[in-house]
Amino acid sequence: MDYSDRIDRLISIALTSSDFYDSFLSEMEVELGSHISLTNWKGEFLYGNSKYQNCISLGRLGSMYMSDKAVNENYRYIRAAAVIIYFKMDIQRLNTYSHMWNELTDNAVKGLSEGEYRGVRAALLSLGDKSVVNISKISAETGVTRSVIVNGLHKLECTGLIKLHSGGMKGTYVKMLDQGLIEKMREEQIWGK
């Protein structure tokens, strides 16, 4: 099997494997005839359990270890595999951050009282393409007091989901820092009202 076929096979495993480390790295071990270990940036083992003679850095994400002989005979293959592993680890890290951000948004919205939720929801959905909301008008439409709406908006600002700026008579400027928040507000009411 030539170099490009070997790399194509690794890419195929990386894209289709549900258990990436076991299938991908065990395939590499067979291909190289060498044991491999993989550590994250903290030095914790993700695969294998020994720091072999040769270390290949995966940048800020971790390191891959194997024997000198395997590296010397298959350097291009191993570097290509290291790039694939790096991107797979980076994607997993981004997915973790995305999941954490979604959880933060969920918890922030669920942390609003029923009145705050109704007022904030109406205020944010009224924005459309504008960035100014008239809280007095929203208060009159929803029956929720201005102070409750403002308090709810401040709670969301404290979690980093929106940025507020008072425009005086013009209204309150709202900058959306997470568009997922608007989607959550559109999903219909958490409170079931």
pLDDT tens sequence across 82-115: 878 877 777 777 777 777 777 888 888 888 899 9
Token pair for 34:
């060498």
What's the CA gap between 5 and 90, in Å, rounded? 24
Separation between Cα atoms, residue 105 and residue 22, nearest integer Å: 33
Domains and CATH numbers, the chain: 3-100 (no CATH), 111-186 (1.10.10.10)
- Residue with the two structure tokens 């291009």: 76
pTM of this structure: 0.53
Q: What is the pLDDT of residue 190?
A: 52
Distance between CA atoms of 47 and 22, rounded to whole angstroms?
A: 7
- What whole-number distance in Å separates Cα of residue 25 and Cα of residue 7? 13
Run means of pLDDT, 10 residues per run, the chain, 193 residues:
70 72 79 82 81 76 81 77 79 74 82 91 86 91 93 88 85 84 71 44
Alpha carbon distance 135, 147 (integer Å): 9
